[in-house]
Amino acid sequence: MLFVLILSLLSLNINSSFAGDAPVNLQGGGAQALNGYMTVAMDSEIVKIILSKDSYTVDATYNFSNTGKTVQLNIGFPKNGSGRLDDRFAHTSDFIKFETWVDDKQVNFTEKPNMAGIEGHYTLPELIRHIKQTGNLEDLMAKDYRWMVKEGVPFPSNKKTALRLRYAAPYQDFGFECKGGLKYIYGTGLYWKGNIRESKFIVDATGLPKEERPKDMRFMDQKDKMNAECSAISDGVIQCVLKDYKPARPDAGVVVFVGDGCVYFEKPQ
């Protein structure tokens, strides 16, 4: 009975937090089709990430072609949040701005749930014992994943379609002495037809003091890391290009750190 009560209270707390607050750490990303038989290919994308003092802006353009019949697809952009359960979402964050366009025409979007859950280093019996004995939640991570959706986007037969995304968000807290940073999810490109001809990622740090500017961007996927052609194209501006590839997994992303003290642990995938 005690355990049932604890879980009930825990569930109530989580649900109210998710419903009333935004995620603690926020990650955005590229376009994904949420329905339909896939005859649409992403030919190319240009993702510009502009860094400022307390936040960053992503301004991305995605170019598509449809080799099949005209289709209308529901397009989703990820809004992935996470945070430690023990702080009860005391430090919440949300998109500062979120805008989308279809062929240069600005369109509205709807925020919809994707999935939510709790993760920790426990099996279920261990978690039960842990909560009963300590009531400690600090090892548990809550995840709240959502979609920013535009329904019924037309992709005419044998024609090109361009989508544009622009959002601003606060930096993600990476812990330790790290000032912060961001992750942009490009793995959504996995679900379009065929390979992506070219993905260009540009980080513009000219709005930051030189000592705080990132020296590189980090690809979480090892293969993409090896294949990316990266260079400094001007003072404070970095560019990485991937060609003729398909992301290996939907959560593949590029990480950018701001300031000193950030530690990046690479995991082969």
Q: Which of 88, 63, 232 is nearest to 161 (CA)?
A: 63
β-bridge mates for residue 243, sequence order? 198
Mean pLDDT for the chain overall: 82
CB 240 within 8 A of CB 213: no
Q: Percentage of residues in the chain with pLDDT exceeding 70?
A: 72
- Sorted by where each begins, the domain ranges of the chain are 2-258
Residue 177 clears pLDDT 60, i.e. is over it: no
Separation CA 266–CA 76 (nearest Å): 28
Separation CA 23–CA 43 (nearest Å): 32
CB 174 within 8 A of CB 180: yes
| Residue with the larger pLDDT of the pair 54 and 199 | 199
For domain 2-258, say whether CATH 3.40.50.410 is its number: no
CB 175 within 8 A of CB 32: no
> What global pTM score does this model have?
0.81
Q: Percentage of residues in the chain with pLDDT exceeding 90?
A: 55
Query: Of 43-52, 86-95, 130-139, which gets the smallest average pLDDT?
Result: 86-95
β-bridge mates for residue 218, sequence order? 255
Compute the average pLDDT of residues 231-250. Answer: 96
